[in-house]
Amino acid sequence: MASANTLLAFDVEKNSEKFYKEVSDGVSVISFGTMYGFEEQPLAIIGGNCSIQGFDESSNEVYWNVTSDKVTAICLSDIDGNNILELIVGSDDNYIRVFKNEEILYEISEAGPTKCLCSMSK
């Protein structure tokens, strides 16, 4: 669960809060899962004001990257066919970027800001 500047992780099986985290760059979108470089642990991936942050289950920020504008959409998908998910990010500057850890694999210009991204299989 998230609000404008906070992230709350809740363990539904134990009916308890795992962590509460202030997110200084804000929270505009959120996704969960494993991605390239972090295959062993799922992350809460947060898109905010020009940044992307990944938090592990202990609330440690283990991933950080920057975009050129506010993040408007995030998803994880296996773009290069290696069975490991890459991070796909849409932003207000009308670009969709595909990240493999911190490296940009693809940068696609769109006519307007991306509102939603969805992973699809072949």
Predicted local confidence at residue 54, as pLDDT: 96
Q: Which residue has the tokens 């970027």?
A: 97
Domain definitions of the chain by residue range: 6-109
pLDDT of residue 1: 66
Q: Output the pTM of the full model.
A: 0.89
Q: Using DSSP, state whether 53 is helix, strand or coil.
A: strand
The single-letter code of the amino acid at 89 is: V
> What contacts 68, CB < 8 A, 6 or more positions away?
50, 91, 93, 95
Mean pLDDT of all residues in 97-113: 94
Task: For 16-66, write each residue's pLDDT tens digit.
Answer: 898 889 998 899 999 999 999 999 999 999 999 999 999 999 999 999 999
Of 54, 50, 96, the residue nearest 71 (C-alpha): 50
Q: Residue 10: pLDDT band by 50, 70, 90 thresholds?
A: confident
Query: How many Å apart are CA 30 and CA 12, to the nearest integer?
Result: 18
